[in-house]
Amino acid sequence: MAAHLHRRKYDTGATDTEIKIGNIVPYSGPASAYGIIGKTMSAYFRMINESGGINGRRINFISYDDSYSPPKTVEQARKLVESDGVFLIFAPLGTATNAAIQKYMNTMKVPQLFVSSGASRWGDPEHFPWTIGWQPSYRAEARVYASYILEHHPTAKIGVLYQNDDFGKDYILGLKDRLGDKYASMVIMSAPFEVGTPTVDSEVVAIKTANPDIFINIATPKYAAQAIRKLAELDWHPVHIMTNVSSSVGGVLKPAGLENAKGILTALYNMDVTDPQWDSHPGMQHFRAFLAKYYPEADKSDSGTLAAYSLSTGLVEVLKRCGDNLTRDNVMKVVANLDFEVETLRPGIRVKTSPTDFYPIEQLRMSRFGGEHWDAFGPIIDAHVEQVALSAK
């Protein structure tokens, strides 16, 4: 026993009996639709603790609200690291919010693990070795849309609505990566909007006036839903491509009107909670049993619950692999060498990293909204392969 104890290694936030995990999510403010993600994570770790914890240690999950406001994120991150003494910060949500704490987390050498944002800046191990994302980067996702457009609508004119921040600009970069010198001639109108603006109605009207064939909707849930509603109001029916961060049927499409959302395209990596094709899939069955027992009041059609479940599964896998070496350094060693499947991601999509590749998920599948759920079509597209091809050019 003494010899075994001797092998245990801990940093702040980890002991023989518990692991303190910090988290920051907007429970209030313009992106409060994402609050369900934090609530699902709390429920998930309750389940883990009831079944004996991780290698015998219970998870002490501390989640704070930052209202999607970067100065508040900084305040909460400092509180988690310096007062609460967490082992790491897991799945903090948002692009501008995480950008605001990235330098701090790396200076403090505390993992900023599986950031809930697809900005490409989370995959820079050379400059930020303590930060890593999870979902496919927005830039990679936009490349998938551009590939789809080049294949199916090569002569189309495009109008883009985008959030005027790192989140929106990453998509623009991805479109440019793939459309290359055609970008200037194909994109005939782009309308940026600021987070905090009451509505994007005037931007949508301006884009419609330019009369593009394709409308690309690069917005977080509230604004994405407004744009869908506005298109319906204007009785305008372009090919509508929307970012997957706003693909929740319950959180976005229902409020926008399911009828209005019919035919919208996106690219997905998580299963869709509303799609009956997954009913018999073991991953979906485990997820639904978890929800029924630990978070029964959750909106069954909100994809945030499944996203949170997949992320939490990823964290548990990492902590299991750390064994009794619960140092922050070891966490990042483990995180830099992952290759596994999460049962609630679409079949065939793997979580894979290397010491030089901090993009855990890089595969997506195009999907169309049929009025009730997303129908996937075509092959799984690996945006990473495309990235390699691009840099080789």
Encode pLDDT of 149-183 as tens digits.
999 999 999 999 999 998 999 999 999 999 999 99
Question: Quick one: pLDDT at residue 348?
Answer: 83
CB 71 within 8 A of CB 99: no
194: left (phi over 0), alpha (psi -120 to 50) or beta: beta
pTM of the model: 0.84
> For residues 179-203, b (16+ Cβ closer than 10 Å) or e, as one string?
beebeeebbbbbbebebeeeebeeb
Question: Quick one: pLDDT at residue 5?
Answer: 55
Instruction: Read off the pLDDT of each residue in 2-13 and give the average, rounded to a whole number.
Output: 77
Per-residue pLDDT at 393 exceeds 50: no
| Number of alpha carbons in the 13 Å side-chain half-sphere of residue 33 | 23
Instruction: Read off the pLDDT of each residue in 352-356 and give the average, rounded to a whole number.
Output: 96
Question: Quick one: pLDDT at residue 6?
Answer: 59
Instruction: Read off the pLDDT of each residue in 65-90 and give the average, rounded to a whole number.
Output: 98
Cα 2 to Cα 6, 7, 146, distances in angstroms: 6, 9, 59
Per-residue pLDDT at 215 exceeds 90: yes
Question: Quick one: pLDDT at residue 382?
Answer: 79
Dump pLDDT digits (tens) for 108-159: 999 999 999 988 899 999 999 999 999 999 999 999 999 999 999 999 999 9
Dump pLDDT digits (tens) for 236-295: 999 999 999 999 998 899 999 999 999 999 999 998 888 888 999 999 999 999 999 999
- Ordered domains of the chain (ranges, CATH): 2-136+277-361 (3.40.50.2300), 140-268+366-392 (3.40.50.2300)
Dump pLDDT digits (tens) for 301-344: 898 999 999 999 999 999 999 999 999 999 999 999 999 999 99
What confidence tier does 381 reach under pLDDT thresholds 50, 70, 90? Answer: confident
Question: Quick one: pLDDT at residue 272?
Answer: 84
Instruction: Read off the pLDDT of each residue in 344-349 and give the average, rounded to a whole number.
Output: 90
Q: Alpha-carbon distance 155 to 344, whole Å?
A: 37
Instruction: Read off the pLDDT of each residue in 222-238 and give the average, rounded to a whole number.
Output: 98
Dump pLDDT digits (tens) for 17-41: 999 999 999 999 989 989 999 999 9
- Average predicted confidence (pLDDT) for the chain: 94
Strands 374-382 and 363-369: antiparallel
Instruction: Read off the pLDDT of each residue in 185-194 and give the average, rounded to a whole number.
Output: 97
Question: Quick one: pLDDT at residue 380?
Answer: 87
Burial of 305 (0-12, 13-18, 19+ CB in 10 A): buried
